[in-house]
Structure 1
Amino acid sequence: MAAAGSADGSAGSAGAEAEAERRVRAWAEAQRARGRLVVLVTSGGTQVPLEARAVRFLENFSSGRRGAASAERLVSAGYSVCFLHRARSAFPWARMLPPPGPALLEALRVHPGPSVTLDPAALPGLVPALLEYRRAKEKGVLLSLEFTGLTEYLALLRAAARALAPLGSSAMFYLAAAVSDFYIPASEMPEHKIQSSEGPLQITMKMVPKMLSPLVKEWAPEAFVISFKLETNPSILIEKSRQALEKYHHQVVIANILDSRRTSVIVVTKDSETQLSLSDEEIAKGVEIEEKIVSHLQSRHTTFINRQN
């Protein structure tokens, strides 16, 4: 298995990885001392450069919304959350803010002084979100780790997994990040910007090493691990999910179809398939599917801990 930092041809910063592991380990030990369960949530997509001095990148559509929404629900459910997220992707509770642009500007009010306030009527969910965020920060139950590229993600995942391993079955891994399956090795990457004058672009990419295998077998072998499987073809979804369970020997796959991912998922385990869906009434009330996912997984995690102990 390739080292975590080698997926794009660089060794990465061993010092930064060691510091991340130290930071997560200290935080996790504090959470365990308080009797809290800990979950690592990965969120957002990874960025894969096409040039060494990169101008162009390959990315996917992931905004990190699922990871951020799930992190909020997990904190509410009593977990302490280590949030490993893509820079500038959705962040727990901050996702209630509109993105930079007209909607945000319209919500701001300028007063004499000058001073600036936010119109609560323009963002009705913001005040409750701010209160929840402040409570999470004051209690120390949210730890944020940020990545941009594929190399950073893989290194931080390994560091966090090793740091959480001593927690055993009480640690949960909620792997919602949309990690690239392909990359260009540094040895095959042009140093400078690819010139369009050279004609049509042809790219040959290598497979990114699958980190789920060493995570389950080596880094945190006693943890409760959930991966996600997104497909556009419903006819292969369950088969692909079961193949992942058989290959990596983790506990759960959350299977979802692109077009319905925000309203319906299937929780796939070795022994079962459980559909979780939002009704029209729940959708109208603003209920999010992540609320049902977290509630279901919390029950499964409790059962897993009891069996392990």
Structure 2
Amino acid sequence: MLSQIQTETPPEDLAALAETHYFAANPPPKDLEKHVALARDFINFHSAAKRRLVLVTSGGTTVPLEKQTVRFIDNFSAGTRGATSAEYFLEAGYAVIFLHRQFSLLPFSRHYSHATDCFLDFLREGPDGSVVARDEDAARMLHVLRKYRNARDRNTLLVLPFVSISDYLHELRSVAQLMQPLGPSGLLYLAAAVSDFFVPPERMSEHKIQSTDVAEAFKKSKNARAQKTTEDEETFDNFDSSPAVPRSKSLVIDLDPVPKFLKNLVEGWSPQGMIVSFKLETDPEILVHKAKYSLDRYQHHLVIGNLLATRKWEVVFVSPLSPDRWIRIPNPAESHASTAAVEKDEPVDPKSLPDGEPDTEIESLIIPAVQELHTKYIQTVEAKNKA
């Protein structure tokens, strides 16, 4: 039905149609009203203080396969880019709404969230039975703690969770609309790894998807034979290599594309805010092309392109009316190379990079560059408004 309407609708109305259909068909998260109230108070507080505010989205979005979700599709994102960026935005003087995938990395606590950096490894028992930081780690922990307490005490960080792609889009739309009074002082930094496909609710199973037909047979015929089949299946579930019943069914998932709401964001949800999106690719030959295509299609303000293999070493800024700008951490192996070679306008070869992660967080370079563009954007909008 929707596809038929789309063929009969002018192109300029398709974005609004997709928005209406999607949000009507996909229910909002149960905590949306609570989150909206928190965000409204937070935005009003910082708007009165004339402080710049950024919405940072972070982490992956799940795609549930059942309404009572047991199984879902996910991606690899742990929220590292978003959580790290949020810290540097706070250092730059922004208030931050951190819209993140539940249980993904958070600002400040991210330093002690990985298995390789378990916070218990940084602690020891004091002589009086107290818990204290190890001497060699105390200075670093104190530095992070002070930044965290500063954000808490100044009320400059609001943390809001989401889980599914539907949750994310409801939250994004609501918070973006609340940011409209901020005008160009509002910044939307969309670092979340958003799912491209989803299962529409009308095609979603109410209960857990079964791997065999046993449950269905049991419902249809509650007799001894059905009971025996269930017992046989239990044997198979315990790795019987010669089951009396067929092996598990294959699962074919029919996914629909998630509507691209970036145009709605640019034109309706936050028409004056500066909007930054990310483009992650694995093929270096298409990275800049895809970033420029996105910028041209949605008419927002900046695409930050990065490659999976080198995303912690370099990114490329693609923005309208500006040359592409590579931001990268110098490769220690090329410290002797000329400046021109280090600043080449093409992706680095992952094989040329040293093992492990760089000593510098690339977000420490990204955020000042974004802040610089945001300042220019505010000046441009204000000049237009005065003209």
Shift of 1:43: 0.4
CA 192–17 in structure 1, closer or farther in 2 if over 3 Å, else same: closer
**Does residue 158 of the first structure (1) align with residue 209 of the second (2)?**
no
Of 240-249 and 172-181, the range deviating more from structure 2: 240-249
Structure 1 segment 1-309 matched on structure 2, within 5 A: 1-3=17-19, 6=22, 9-13=25-29, 16-99=31-114, 103-111=118-126, 114-122=129-137, 125-197=140-212, 198-271=248-321, 272-280=323-331, 286-309=359-382
Q: By how many angstroms is 1:246 displaced?
A: 1.1
Please give the alpha-carbon distance, in whole angstroms, between the structure 2 residues aligned to 1:123 and 1:112. 16
The CA distance in 2 between the partners of 1:8 and 1:123, in whole Å, is 51
Contact 2:199 2:256 in 1 (8 A): yes
Aligned residue identity for 1:299: E
- CA-CA distance at 1:117 after TM superposition: 2.8
Contact 1:25-1:163 within 8 A present in 2 as well: yes
What TM-score do the two structures reach when normalised by structure 2? 0.74
Find the residue that maps to 2:205 and give its secondary structure.
Answer: coil
Q: C-alpha distance in 1, partners of 2:253/2:109?
A: 37
CA apart distance, 1:104 = 3.7
Structure 2 CA distance for aligned equivalents of residues 52 and 3 of structure 1: 21
**Bigger radius of gyration among the two:** 2
Report deviation, 1:36: 1.0
CA contact (8 A) 2:112 2:118 kept: no
Asked whether the 8 Å contact 1:96–1:123 carries over to 2, the reply is no
Query: Whose strand proportion is higher, 1 or 2?
Result: 1
- TM-score, normalization by structure 1: 0.92
CA distance in 2: counterparts of 1:178 and 1:73, whole angstroms:
20
Residue 3 of structure 1 and its aligned partner are, at CA, apart by 4.3
Distance in 1, Cα, partners of 2:137 & 2:186: 39
Change (3 A) 1:3 1:19: farther
Task: Mark the runs of 5 or more structure 1 residues left unpaired by the alignment.
Answer: none
Q: 1:7 to 1:233 in 2, by over 3 A?
A: farther
Backbone CA RMSD of aligned residues: 2.4
User: Match for 2:324: what amino acid?
Assistant: E
What is the aligned length? 308
